[in-house]
Amino acid sequence: MKKDNALTIFVFSLLILIFPLIYKDTYLLTIGIFIGINALVAIGLTILMGYAGQISIGQAGFYGIGAYVSAILSLYFGLPVLLSMLLAIVVACIVSIFIAIPALRLKGHYLAVATLGFGEIVYLILNEWGPGGPSGFGDIPRISLFGYTFTTSYEYFYFVWSIVIIVMIFSFNLINSMTGKALKAIHGSETASATVGINIVKLKIKVFILSAFYASMAGAIYAHYVTFLSPSSFSLFYSVMVLMMVVVGGISNLWGGVVGAFIITILPELLRGFKELDVLVYGIILTIALLFVRKGFVPLILEGYRRWLQK
Amino acid sequence: MTLLLQFIFSGLTTGSVYALVGIGFNIVYNSTSIINLAQGEFVVIGGLMMWFFFVGLKLPFLVSFTLTLAVAGLVGFLMERLTIRPLIKKGDLLLMIMVTIAVSILIRGLLMFKFGKDPYTYPPFTVGEPIVFLGAVISQQTLWVIGITCICIAILYLFFNKTMTGRAMKACSLDIKAARLMGINVSQIVMLSFIISAVIGAVGGIAITPISLMEYDKGAMLSVKGFCAAIMGGLGRGRGAVVGGFTLGILESLTAGYIHSGLKDAVALFIMLFILFLRPAGIFGRSEIMRLRKF
């Protein structure tokens, strides 16, 4: 990992550590937990879009598989929560292989619609055959580590964000490794990278699986945090929200996913008084981000910061 | 037998809308190589604006009809001018996909702001006894939907084959560079293709709303199904989308009738994934190599 990345992660971890000590408000902590969960999904999509140049509008599908499989295994089959979370992630990854192999032969628009179709199929299955159907089911056990069960928002906050930080460290290492460089090469030119001996298809599939891994992990955490699941949390709209997080935060920087998750998650909270407005505001933000801040807010802020330093 | 006929007619009705959305996809795709994921929203605009003019403002039927089409055309025009035109030169595919998604959310947001989350409907175009055909009961609105769709297809056929502008659009779909060299104003053609696709989507929305109601968030699913219709016939082929739309509609209503009503929406998704993964040239398309595209 590069030095400045390590430093940012260190400072960021300190911020995460002290945040709950300053703001003892459960409401803020809850939002913090949701930001962390969404950030996990968004980081996966950032790598897929920014580094492999592939699009997915079906992340809600993997997120849903992670949540439902883990909840069902722990609730109906009595498996320990951590084991069922792990199995849920494995299931999602296996599903992602079957989607990735045919889908990544497709380009651009076709890939977008194929992943969208996959997400909608998962949503339909949850609606038809998920426990409780469209109204969902509850009483999902909470996360427990070595016999200690998480109950307070503090514990969940620290748990989620430690995972986000681990994922960030892992992802930064990945990007700076040979694999990451190969990915960048693919994004630049597929033909050129194939001629220098990069196995494009294999790499793309790997990144697709990685994004499914992150999304399903987030889903599993979500299930055991809210302890109630219904299909509506896993609709197309969630996939579009994740896409929005990545676009708004910035596609070319891993922090983009985290910042995007922060902005998009707190938005509905800020708009609480104007219930009918949220979809419109999402639309305006996404359109403006695409038209004017094409690189996303993180690179924009970084650039501004560098310019400010030079003055 | 009677039941089967009944299902086929209800399939043709919803299939008409899929066909119109599918044609819209093709028109935009042919002039820009973009798949406009906001296509389904135009159907919703059609249904809801018609309600607004016809029921809300109590304007005469034909006036409301014309005004609704004008609004839809205007939205298509604005979409092209404000979002597509500034970005298309970048040649970035991811960006183009996302901007059409952004516009669809924007339209959905505006509609929800104006109309809320309730479903809307208005009386059928003509009041009268349903027609009984071989035992199947067919409402007059069903005939209107299918009839209007056929009229739309006929007008489009004449437009693309008999008028200078239509032929210019056709030329663009074959080879944009050559078309430009022949003195065709390509950017105007792109604008026109967005307006036309918006208007025919709205026609579908106006016709179907008395039967199936309309609400602000129906657009996404309609986009998916229209896209499915378009690729069933091979993307870019006008006639393919018509056959694809009707086939999809009938398959859906047969699935809902004979298998399980909850699986209705899954039909389009499975067909779509099947085609994308196995036969990207479309079920009815010849298995020739897909025409080369910018993207």
In a domain, A12, yes or no: yes
In a domain, A257, yes or no: no
Which of A109, A128, A284 lies closest to B35 in CB terms?
A109
Distance between CA atoms of A67 and A227, rounded to whole angstroms?
10
Q: What is the mean pLDDT of chain A?
A: 87
User: In terms of CA atoms, which chain B residue is nearest residue A243?
Assistant: B98
Range of the domain at A148: 3-236
Write the ipTM.
Answer: 0.84
Please give the C-alpha separations between residue B179 and each of A102, B36, B183, B185, in angstroms, as whole numbers. 35, 22, 7, 8
Neighbours of B118 (CB within 10 A): 8
Q: What is the mean pLDDT of chain B?
A: 88
In a domain, A311, yes or no: no
Can you give the pLDDT at residue A273? 73
Which of B97, B260, B278 lies closest to A109 in CB terms?
B97
Using one digit for the tens of pLDDT, what is the confidence trace for A138-175?
889 998 887 788 888 888 999 999 999 999 999 998 88
Nearest chain A CA: its distance from B133 CA (Å): 35
In a domain, A278, yes or no: no
Tokens matching residue B236: 């870019």
Residues of B in Cβ contact (< 8 Å) with A49: 94
In a domain, A219, yes or no: yes
Residue A103 to residue B35, Cβ atoms within 8 A: no
Which of B98, B263, B278 lies closest to A243 in CB terms?
B98
Number of domains in chain B: 1
In a domain, B258, yes or no: no
Using 70 as the pLDDT threshold, list the residues of chain B that sit under it: 279-295
In a domain, B84, yes or no: yes
Can you give the pLDDT at residue A225? 94
In a domain, B17, yes or no: no
In a domain, A283, yes or no: no
In a domain, B102, yes or no: yes
Range of the domain at B116: 22-219
Can you give the pLDDT at residue B22? 94
In a domain, B1, yes or no: no
In a domain, B225, yes or no: no
Dihedral sign, Cα of residue B236, residue B237, residue B239, residue B243: negative
Residues of A in Cβ contact (< 8 Å) with B221: 120
In a domain, B96, yes or no: yes
In a domain, A30, yes or no: yes
Number of domains in chain A: 1
- Among A49-63, A267-281, B195-209, B246-260, the range scoring the smallest mean pLDDT is A267-281
Please give the C-alpha separations between residue A216 and each of A40, A172, A207, A220, A310, in angstroms, as whole numbers. 9, 20, 14, 6, 43
In a domain, A121, yes or no: yes
